[in-house]
Amino acid sequence: MYNVILGAHNIVRWLVLVAAIWAMIRAYSGWLGARTWTPADKQAGFFFTTTFDTQLLIGIILVVVSPLTHAAAANLAAIMSTDMLRFFIAEHIPLMVLALIVVHVTSVLAQRAPEDAGKFKRSALGYTLALVMVAVAIPWWRPLFPGL
């Protein structure tokens, strides 16, 4: 079961990255091109938020079934002394949760902006910050497509 959940978490990672890039492209093109905010712009942010929410749910399940988490719980002192445990427990999880909060706040702030330029600017800056946080928190040393 662990491998299935880990595989799903990996696949959804790519969806989150694609959704983030799509939302950023829409945001920057609207901001720099002085476009009018359209439902497609809102959809891009919604898709990014939804895929990220899905990733969080899968991640929570992964934390519950992961042997890595169980090892960390059995020996809390080892978390900071073991690179992989420290990364996943003390860096990956908190940074991803923080990035998800940034995505949600960005979506709300963009919707509440009184004019289109503000919607695009808030989206561009917020989604960029979230994507940077996600990129930092991804374990790039692991196989990009496990099992292939």
Q: How many CB atoms lie within 10 A of CB 63?
A: 16
What is the enclosing helix (H) or strand (E) of 84? Answer: helix 83-85
The pLDDT assigned to 81 comes to 81
pLDDT class of 148 with cuts at 50, 70, 90: low
pLDDT class of 79 with cuts at 50, 70, 90: confident
The answer to whether residue 7 scores a pLDDT higher than 60 is yes
What is the enclosing helix (H) or strand (E) of 51? Answer: helix 39-65
> In the predicted model, what is the mean pLDDT of residues 13-32?
96
Cβ atoms of residues 21 and 29 within 8 Å: no
The answer to whether residue 110 scores a pLDDT higher than 60 is yes
Predicted model pTM = 0.88
Q: Which residue has the tokens 């960029």?
A: 128
The answer to whether residue 45 scores a pLDDT higher than 70 is yes
- Return phi, psi of residue 139, to 5°: -80, 85
